[in-house]
Amino acid sequence: MISVEKGYVDMAIDNSVDIKSEILRLKREKNAVILAHYYQRNEIQDIADYIGDSLALAQIAAKVDADIIVMCGVHFMGETAKILCPDKKVIVPDMNGGCSLADSCPADEFASFVKDHPQHTVISYVNTSAAVKAHTDIVVTSSNAKEIVESLPNDEKIIFGPDRNLGNYINSITGRNMILWNGACDVHEKFSLEKILALKEKNNNAKILVHPECKKSVQMIADKVGSTQALLNYAIKDECYTFIVATESGIIHEMQKKCPLKTFIPAPPEDGSCSCNECAYMKLITLEKLYNSLKYELPEINVDKEVAEKAIVSINRMLDISKQLGIIK
């Protein structure tokens, strides 16, 4: 019996093993596909079959032809993949990969919040547990939240959770007055306005890219506010050659690959312990853990059947509306 007591397969790997080659071999033999979020370690992004933001990964998971999905991301991403693909085996190489934003919204408290606001359409950010999605009418990501909110009637009463910064941003650009759950992402909350402005002073021609999970004060100085994918697309298309990036610094790897002649400067956090801002949860997965997870097909994600049946409705509504609006194909 292989133990995953630590949240991952902790088996020694012989020094003679070429881990990257073995991952590719195991993937072929087991008809597995590796999905990785843009915030993963560089080497995990490089070996993945697909990389993307939360919307892209959900879309890929729903369509992919594989027996095993290895989700190199955090726990809620594995849950979403399993809900979309109940007949596939879904593995997350390190189950300790939580999410501070998801943790800020316990399902029982959110259910009470929803109950206290009857006759409201409940919109939840994808960065939530399956149990929260089960109390949700429509799931959104930062890539499609604005468009999905705007697709609803102007007088629609809406609850939005759990990210107050994203919710406030959507309210400000749509003119809506959604009731917001008071949650936030620790990583995006910690960006320092003063340090970003100091960087801008040193790099006068730089443009500032900001994720909408950041505080309003940081959003206000942005040249572009958008999802991880939107910030990447902007960097690729814009004529500017220097960017200050206020989101998790893992995206800079893909930005640099797509734009080798451009300079990307990670926006610093307030605490001053590092020049960049990383999500510790996203960096938990290593090549060694990925190899062991494929070899032993553990740890496996399972979602309670009743929860999954409720949650799939809100996820499918997101995908259906996104297709209708032309956000995804």
Q: pLDDT digit string (tens) for 139-162?
A: 999 999 999 999 999 999 999 999
* Letter string b/e over residues 266-291, b meaning 16 or more CB atoms within 10 A of that residue's CB: bbbbeeeeeeebbbebbbbbbbbbbb
Q: Which CATH superfamily is domain 101-185+310-324 in?
A: NadA-like (3.40.50.10800)
Q: Which class in CATH covers the domain with range 19-97+282-304?
A: alpha beta
pLDDT at 13 over 70: yes
pLDDT at 273: 59
Q: In what order do the strands lie in the sheet with 89-91?
A: 50-52, 32-37, 68-72, 89-91
Contact by Cβ (8 Å): 52, 295? no
Place of tokens 């049946």: 309
3-class secondary-structure state, position 123: strand
Strands 89-91, 138-140: pairing kind: unpaired
pLDDT at 238: 98
The residues of the chain that CATH labels 3.40.50.10800 are: 19-97+282-304, 101-185+310-324, 191-266
What lies within 8 Å, CB to CB, of 189 at 6+ separation is 165, 213, 214, 215
Least confident of 33-47, 209-223, 276-290, 291-305: 276-290
User: Which pair of structure tokens corresponds to residue 7?
Assistant: 């949240």
Question: Read out DSSP for 219-273?
Answer: HTT-SEE--HHHHHHHHHHSS-SEEEEES-TTHHHHHHHH-TTSEEEEPPBTT-S
Q: Which CATH superfamily is domain 191-266 in?
A: NadA-like (3.40.50.10800)
User: How far does the chain reach from its first CA to its final CA, in angstroms?
Assistant: 43
pLDDT at 275 over 80: no
pLDDT band at residue 59, thresholds of 50, 70 and 90?
A: confident
Cα–Cα nearest to 281, from 60, 37, 47, 20: 37
The rounded distance, in Å, linking the Cα atoms of 289 and 219 is 36
pLDDT at 274: 60
Mean pLDDT throughout 32-47? 97
Phi–psi pair at 294, nearest 5 degrees = -70, -40
Contact by Cβ (8 Å): 83, 137? no
- 264: β partners: 243
Mean pLDDT throughout 128-145? 97
Give the residue, 273 or 30, on which the prediction is more confident.
30
Contact by Cβ (8 Å): 102, 126? no
Place of tokens 């999970």: 213
The rounded distance, in Å, linking the Cα atoms of 323 and 329 is 6
Place of tokens 């949860």: 281
Contact by Cβ (8 Å): 257, 234? no
The whole model's pTM is what?
A: 0.94
